Structures are given as C-alpha cells and as structure tokens.
Amino acid sequence: MLISGRGSNMQAFIEACCDGRLNAEICLVLSNRADAAGLQTAQSAGLPTACIEHRDYPSREAFDAALVACLAPREPDLVILAGFMRILTPVFIEPFFGRLLNIHPSLLPKYPGLNTHQRALDAGDREAGATVHFVTPELDGGPPVLQARVPVQPGDDADSLAARVVREEHQIYPLAARWFLEGRLTLTQDGAFLDGQKIPASGILFRPDDALTPA
C-alpha cells in the first residue's frame, strides 16, 4: 500500500482487515514522505513500513525503480494507492499491471488530476463522488471499477464536499479490493471485468446494499 499523507483510506483498509470484511493482510505500507502521518498510523497497527523519498532520485523513473525494488520481493497480490501523490511511470506500472488500484475523488472521466471538488463546484455539477480504477500509464485514465456519488448541496465548499466524498471512498475502495482478491475482478486488454462481465465505462455504481460485510 502506497501513501503520501495521513492515509485515511489506508485506515479504512486496516479496519476492514481487522474486522473480517476483507480477508487480506497488508504486507507493507510504503511512503514517499518521511513525515507522512500515515506511517505512524501503520506502525501503531503493527504493520511493516518503509519510506523512499522521491527527492532523493534524479527522475521519476529512477524513483519508480526504487519502489519496485522495495515492493516486488514481497510479491503482493494487489497494490493499493491510498493517497499516493506521485505520478507513476511505466517503470512501476508494468511490473504490477492488472493488480494496481487507485481511488480518485471525482466521477471519472470528469476531473482527472487535482482540485477535483472545487472544479465540480465551479462547473455547477449536481453530483460529485469518487471512482476506484485500475492504474494504467494514462493519468487517472485506467478502466473504472466502482463509483460512489454524493449530491452537491447548497452552500457546499470544497472542504465540505470532500468530507462527504471521502466517507464514500472508505466504503468502495475495500469492496473493490475484495472483489479482486476473490478473483471476481480482472483487467484485460479489453477493459475491466467483474464476474466475467465487462464493467461499464463509468464503473459500477455503488449502492448502500453493496457495503462490505464480513465474508
């Protein structure tokens, strides 16, 4: 699991693993920032951690190669980007292709990149949300898997909207990971598939009845 900050989605995974909603073990929490608050959270939970500072490397590719060298020996079944604020190159993506997930705080394909909540407000959107997607070399452009939507309310600012969206992130991200680890979710050259059925271009719409429960 890769983080850059406080790791709120990481915490959601820790809780899901502990209470039986996700039959998985987090083998490593890896950050590009030594001051990432999530590292302390992970250590407090008894998880192994590592830090590789991106500023110590001359290029994105060199940094990504160091990430691969740290992570690959652990042979992860799935790599989770949980607020990892670095653009990854094919040097990292290719070794983990098809088992690399990210969550983005917008209703992709709308608003790839940063400042998603303010952009949704500026556009007058009635809905915002989050999308779990497979990672490909295109920034925030990998096939969507699962999407949660929240209404934009009168008086919302970027912070209030973000607070509602992140609660949905904590629901949908472990659920998508469970689908993958159960062998139900796959990525092929033709796109993302769940139970052998191609997932729609905007991902599967999350419903409260889909919420993760113990296996």
pLDDT tens, residue order, the chain (215 aa): 999 999 999 999 999 999 999 999 999 999 999 999 999 999 999 999 999 999 999 999 999 999 999 999 999 999 999 999 999 999 999 999 999 999 999 999 999 999 999 999 999 999 999 999 999 999 889 999 999 999 999 999 999 999 999 999 999 999 999 999 999 999 999 999 999 999 999 999 998 877 778 76
Which residue from 194, 71, 190 is spatially nearest to 132, judged by alpha carbons?
194
Q: Is 104 marked active-site?
A: yes
Query: Angle at Cα 110 formed by Cα 121 and Cα 130, nearest 5°?
Result: 80
How confident is the model at residue 113, as a pLDDT? 92
Domains parsed from the chain with CATH numbers: 1-96 (3.40.50.170), 105-215 (3.40.50.170)
CA 117 to CA 156: how far, in whole Å?
10
The per-residue pLDDT for 46 is 97
Helix or strand or coil: residue 190? coil
CB atoms near residue 152 (< 10 Å): 20
In whole angstroms, give the CA distance from residue 182 to residue 18.
17
Q: Pick from 69, 91, 67: which is nearest to 81 by CA?
A: 67
SS3 42: helix
pLDDT of res. 213: 80
Model pLDDT for residues 134-151, shown as the tens digit of each residue: 999 998 899 999 999 999
Q: Would you state the pLDDT for residue 25?
A: 97
Q: Which is catalytic among the residues 104, 117, 133, 170?
A: 104
pLDDT of 215: 60
